[in-house]
Amino acid sequence: MFLDGNFCLKIVTLCAISGTLKLLHVAESTSQTTTVSTSTSQDQVPQRIYGLLDKLSCGRKLNASAKFALLLAEFLIKQKMRYVAPTRYERQLFYHLLHRMDHLLKNSSLENISQLEKQILENALKHNVLLLPPTLKYGTLNANADYEQLAMNYEVLVNRGQPNRTQSDLCMREIVNLNPRNCKLSLDCLNVMTSEAIAYGYQRTHQVLLLYMLAHHKCASKLSPPQLYEELAKSHCNDILSEQNAIRSLALGLGKYKDLYLEQATICGLFGYNEFLNWRNVMEIDSWFHDDPNNEHINDLALVFYINALLMLH
């Protein structure tokens, strides 16, 4: 055990060093075009991503959440490249990241994974995918909604609402396995996604993730007009923004709800809302890795969040 750990640590250090050297080299050759004020943070994002991939390569098998994060991260890069021609530096970086993630997906065994999760992961973002132009949306959400009341009761409220994990996985399996010939989705699953009944925490974020997955399936436009996905995501993410404000306002909020906070930022960030996908959150999340380096679910989420930040924040 200990030997493994040490060995891993050395590899990670080596990777980190060679990664940094490469990045420094690239930074030198592009320094004329990079503005001083943001260059530090922009360089940090690829380094963080390499650091997270190193952690995934080392020391553990992939479970469902790690594998889903890798699939989503790959998808985001490919989608972006399909719509926006990358610079030479970006192309090199993106291909290198894709190569590493592909290797991780192929060259790791899945650990402790349920049949349901397996049926999701075998198909998610692989068949009948609909690419959409990624955009960063400014000022779409209502940043000034009241959250004091929510903050006072958050500990109780955070577990309220639907879907629970099982309902969410069942609906996810339906979505990723939709047949484009008939696009038949159960009423249950539609209700799960579209319900505006009171829900908080992971229940609410799962609704948004399901919407995202459906919006990127070829069946999306057959099931409803594209604006509807946008409207629903906006409505859910408005609620989630109040939750983030509440968490931030609590004395121990970001100690206690880090995982949830990152899940909220990551998932509403997928829809491009700048209220979630911004440099302030990049820095905030970055700071966690100094004191809490080995929470695996946080690492999985952070991979997706950072990849999206790399692609969308310039």
| Residue 20 sits in the site that holds ligand NAG (CB under 6 A) | no
Q: How far is the CB of 84 from ligand NAG (least distance, A)?
A: 32
CB of 96 to ligand NAG, least distance (A): 16
Residue with smaller CB distance to ligand NAG, 81 or 170: 170
Identify which range of 128-136, 147-155, 163-171, 269-277 contacts ligand NAG by CB under 6 A. 163-171
Name which of residues 26 to 65 contact ligand NAG (CB under 6 A): 63-65
Q: Which stretch binds ligand NAG (CB under 6 A): 38-46, 101-109, 181-189, 306-314?
A: 101-109
Interface segment toward ligand NAG; rule CB under 6 A; list 71-79, 107-115, 140-148, 250-258 = 107-115
Q: Which is nearer to ligand NAG, 108 or 119 (CB)?
A: 108
For position 160 contacting ligand NAG by CB under 6 A, the verdict is no
Q: Based on the shown chain and the rule CB under 6 A, indicate whether residue 297 belongs to the binding site for ligand NAG.
A: yes
Contact with ligand NAG (CB under 6 A): which of 33, 37, 107, 144?
107
Print the SS3 string covering the chain: CHHHHHHHHHHHHHHHHHHHHHHHHHHHHHHHHCCHHHHHHHHHHHHHHHHHHHHHHCCCCECHHHHHHHHHHHHHHHHHHHHCCCCHHHHHHHHHHHHHHHHHHHCCCECCCCHHHHHHHCCCCCCCECCCCCCCECCCCCCCCCCHHHHHCHHHHCCCCCCCHHHHHHHHHHHHCCCCCCCCCCHHHHHHHHCCCCCCHHHHHHHHHHHHHHHCECCHHHHCCHHHHHHHHHHHHHHHHHHHHHHHHCCCHHHHCHHHHHHHHHHHHHCCECCCCCHHHHHHHHHHHHHCCCCHHHHHHHHHHHHHHHHHCC
Summarize as ranges the residues that interact with ligand NAG (CB under 6 A). 63-65, 107-109, 112, 164, 166-167, 296-297
